[in-house]
Amino acid sequence: MARTLVAGNWKMNGTSASLPEIEAIAAGVTPEKEGVEALICVPATLLTRAAAAAKGTALMIGAETCHARGSGAHTGDISAPMIADTGASHVIVGHSERRADHGESSEIVAAQAAAALEAGLTPIICIGETAAERDSGKAIEVVTTMLSASLPAGADPSLLVIAYEPVWAIGTGNVATVEAVDEMHTALRARLTDTYGAAAAGIPILYGGSMNPGNAAGLLAVRDVNGGLIGGASLKAADFLAIYAAA
């Protein structure tokens, strides 16, 4: 069975004034033995301080992207070894905002995930369809194809996390129906099984896209939903911990 992970993505939000929220979240997270892991992914400027704030607690800290290379002439980028050096344990790759704003293809995402694994980080590989792709009836085809192209070659499946985030639901307040989430996560699990065999059962598949304290319980109860990738609701400890409690 896949472990359950509740992960926050702060995006381009947060300064040193936001660190008390990290401390409050860390104080509210129970030890891993309770069966639900908690992670907050913060901007690069906060990684070291967030990792220090969470040190000694069950809260894990992650980054929001990484470059596919470990070092080099890539001004403004951050490499996976740099992220690991801060004390972080995870990194998001392939978020739709990175794919759209920075032209990151699935092939680039696969290379980023491979770089993360090489640096000892757990990659959270994001996939999802646009409203037009869903309206065309091709959502499952689009997303499962994106998944296959975004997986790093030869990866140990026990080290991967997948996050399904319908692009039209991210930050909009719109949430996919329970039936649509069930259908998509079932298809994703099937594609992972085609790729990794029985080991695919252990890969967490998170749902993202306007998950909040009010709808979390219903979404998390869906088969093959193994947690959430939380955007705006992760910026406040009370909201994030409510979702964590639901999980």
Handedness of CA 228, 233, 237, 238 (dihedral sign): negative
Is pLDDT at 174 greater than 90 in this prediction? Answer: no
Is pLDDT at 84 greater than 90 in this prediction? Answer: yes
Characterize 45-83 residue by residue with b for buried, 16 or more Cβ atoms within 10 angstroms of its Cβ, and e for exposed: ebbebbbebbeebbbbbbbbbbbbeeeeeeeeebbbbbb
User: Which comes out higher in pLDDT, residue 37 or 169?
Assistant: 37
Tally the C-alpha atoms within 13 A of residue 58's C-alpha that lie toward its C-beta. Answer: 15
The residue with tokens 């996560």 is: 185
As given in the structure block, the two tokens for residue 150 are 């975004």
> Is 125 a domain residue?
yes
162-182 average pLDDT score: 89
pLDDT, residue 171, reads 77
pLDDT, residue 172, reads 80
Let me know if 165 is a catalytic residue. Answer: yes
pTM of the model: 0.97
> Is 228 a domain residue?
no
Short-list 242, 243, 238, 214, CA closest to 228: 243
119-144 average pLDDT score: 96
As given in the structure block, the two tokens for residue 196 are 């990794």
pLDDT, residue 33, reads 61
103-130 average pLDDT score: 98
Residue among 95, 97, 129, 133 flagged as catalytic: 95
DSSP label of 203: S
21-25 average pLDDT score: 98
> Is 217 a domain residue?
yes
What domain count does the chain have? 1
> Is 175 a domain residue?
yes
**Single-letter amino acid, residue 238:** A
> Is 103 a domain residue?
yes
Residue 78: helix, strand or coil by DSSP? coil
| Residue 32's pLDDT band (cuts 50, 70, 90) | low
Lowest-pLDDT range of 152-161, 168-177, 231-240: 168-177
147-153 average pLDDT score: 98
pLDDT, residue 61, reads 98
**How far apart are alpha carbons 222 and 178 in whole angstroms?**
7
As given in the structure block, the two tokens for residue 17 are 């004034």
The residue with tokens 């029985």 is: 198
> Is 173 a domain residue?
yes
DSSP secondary structure letters along 4-25: EEEEEE--S---GGGHHHHHHH
Number of H helices, E strands in the chain: 10, 8
> Is 230 a domain residue?
no
Is pLDDT at 210 greater than 90 in this prediction? Answer: no
Domain that holds residue 127: 4-200+213-221+235-246
Lowest-pLDDT range of 10-14, 168-172, 190-194, 211-215: 168-172
| Residue 53's pLDDT band (cuts 50, 70, 90) | very high
Q: What CATH number does residue 141 fall under?
A: 3.20.20.70
**How far apart are alpha carbons 210 and 233 in whole angstroms?**
8
Phi-psi region of 2 (alpha: psi -120 to 50; beta: other; left: phi over 0): beta
Let me know if 95 is a catalytic residue. Answer: yes
| Residue 176's pLDDT band (cuts 50, 70, 90) | confident
> Is 208 a domain residue?
no
Residue among 21, 97, 129, 165 flagged as catalytic: 165
